[in-house]
A and B are shown apart, each in its own frame.
Chain A
Amino acid sequence: MREAVFYGAGFPYAPVKELPGRLIVLEGTDGVGRSTQIQMLGEWIQAEGFGVLDTELAGSGLTKPGLDKAKAGNTLGRLTMSLFYATDFADRLENQIIPALKGGFHVLSDRYFYSIIARNVVRGADPVWSRKMYGFALKPDIIFYLKANVETLMTRVVGRGFDYWESGMDIGLADNRYDSFCIYQSRLIEQFDQMADEFGFITIDANRSEQEVFADIKKHVQSMTDGD
């Protein structure tokens, strides 16, 4: 058993004490290979005999329809977007992540609130405001930051095309998606780099092959769960 620790006040009306499961977070920019790694990690953890729950950003039943609709329009302001994503995050934390951890599952989170902060701040939000908003967030057991340079991201993104939001087209950084993608992703990387020390990320060089990256991640998870 381990004690639940929060970044701020947590959920004062519903105190959480002990959580037998482990919260494992994979962070990093678009096209860094997070979903592939999550999938491999999930397979491996289950093979080891542990239950696994996957969760990802903007996946909550409460906010998904509304957020998808809002993103399709042109009126979603940066403050509104920040708070909408926080709503999604809180809903998943209280209704999926914490219950699963209580039940002894390992939770694999594809991104956590760090990505949301990075996106908010790149769009001009106050970094302190954005951080304090997540005072209810549970501290993960381990946070991997998959770091790759923009050239590597490009090779992965080019096949599926340049998404409007992944290119940060809403900010008006450039008049085309390619240039905008490069600028936007570089700025996100800067934000992640700044957060690495602050939040204790384990930085993994994601310019390498999937297998090499996975071997690294596996090694860290193994040493964490050795005591279980």
Chain B
Amino acid sequence: MLRTSDYKGKLIIVEGIDGSGKSTQIALLYKWLRSLGKSVYFSEWNSSKLVKSTTRLGKKGRILTPTTFSLIHATDFADRWENHIHPLLKAGAIMLVDRYAFTAFARDVSRGVDPQWVRNLYSFAPQPDIAFYFRVPLDTSVERILSSRAKIKYYESGKDLGLSDDKVVSFRLFQQRISDEYENMVSEFGFTVIDGSLPIHAQQQQVRNIAQELIREWQGLPALHANSIPSGTAGGEQP
């Protein structure tokens, strides 16, 4: 478990390998919570404006090592935590976060960094109220990614590890490692496992039922009236 916390707000996060369908599910959860009139906000992995140019520089030049890859993503997360997620949790909002510290634990350890070292980097992050983990067979997720994306990027495919010269083979091997790491964390961090091979609607029903339990009789920050919500504000955009 990560550190315990007692914020007025609620923190719900989604995890899973690429192509597990987690982003689709969190987007639907967001719509539903909005429709209930909740004050709900969203933050996505690797989206800090402050850190963006550095990450891009490192990825484009392929100069990131497993350690600097890990540190720059932790920097990105820290910026979103300090300037967005943390204040909103204190204010009493529901924060939906697409990928959390567990993504770093799975990916960076798959790249060979020390598991305890990377856990320490994120020790300022609290244990989420719900951590959904979308479990899918590797064939399913790889198929989803290959059919929907023009090109798998260098680091995404784990090419930096030299697992294979073939990008798709490398991607598969890397995703397998990450998947193994996630499975090892299920009990360590109390993941709520969702079968990501079920139909989208069936998964969403489970997700909503679990979220409903969390917010039953909970008084958070009242939402603004629906038509006064500004769209596309910094960091608060829809998933």
Contact = CB atoms under 8 A, between A and B. Distances in A.
A92 to B, nearest CB: 10
Nearest to A76: B50
B67 A11 contact: yes
A13 to B, nearest CB: 3
Q: Which of B54, B72, B74, B113 has the most chain A CB atoms closer than 10 A to its own CB? A: B54
Interface string B75-99: 1001101110000000000000000
Nearest to B53: A66
A55 interface: no
Interface stretch (B119-127, B129-137, B185-193, B195-203): B119-127
Nearest to B61: A62
B53 A69 contact: yes
B71 A62 contact: no
B120 A129 contact: yes
Contact of B82 (A69, A79, A86, A136): A79
Contacts of A78: 82
B107 interface: no
B50 A70 contact: yes
A129 B116 CA distance: 12
A94 B67 contact: yes
Interface string A66-98: 110110010111111011101100110011000
Nearest to A93: B67
Given A9-B117, A12-B113, A84 B66 contact: no
Contacts, number: 103
Given A13-B112, A90-B65, A90-B67, A80 B117 contact: no
A98 to B, nearest CB: 11
Contacts of B81: 79
Given A9-B114, A12-B112, A80 B75 contact: yes
A46 B50 CA distance: 40
Given A87-B71, A129-B120, A65 B50 contact: no
Given A90-B65, A90-B71, A135 B78 contact: no
A120 to B, nearest CB: 12
B82 A77 contact: yes
Given A77-B83, A133-B121, A94 B113 contact: no
A140 B117 CA distance: 20
Nearest to B52: A66
Contacts of B47: none
A63 B53 CA distance: 9
Interface residues of B, number: 31
Given A84-B75, A90-B68, A94-B68, A8 B117 contact: yes
A133 B111 contact: no
Contact of A65 (B57, B114, B123): B57
B114 A12 contact: yes
A75 B123 contact: no
Interface string A1-36: 000000011011110000000000000000000000
B57 A77 contact: no
Contacts of A220: none
B63 interface: yes
A227 to B, nearest CB: 32
Given A65-B54, A129-B124, A83 B71 contact: yes
Given A75-B50, A83-B121, A133-B121, A9 B65 contact: no
B50 A73 contact: yes
User: What 6 pairs between A and B have smallest CB-CB spacing?
Assistant: A13-B112, A77-B82, A66-B54, A9-B114, A83-B75, A87-B71
28 contacts: A8-B114, A9-B114, A9-B117, A11-B67, A12-B113, A12-B114, A13-B112, A13-B113, A61-B63, A62-B58, A65-B54, A66-B57, A67-B54, A75-B50, A77-B78, A77-B79, A79-B82, A79-B124, A80-B82, A83-B74, A87-B71, A87-B75, A95-B65, A126-B123, A129-B120, A135-B117, A135-B120, A136-B117
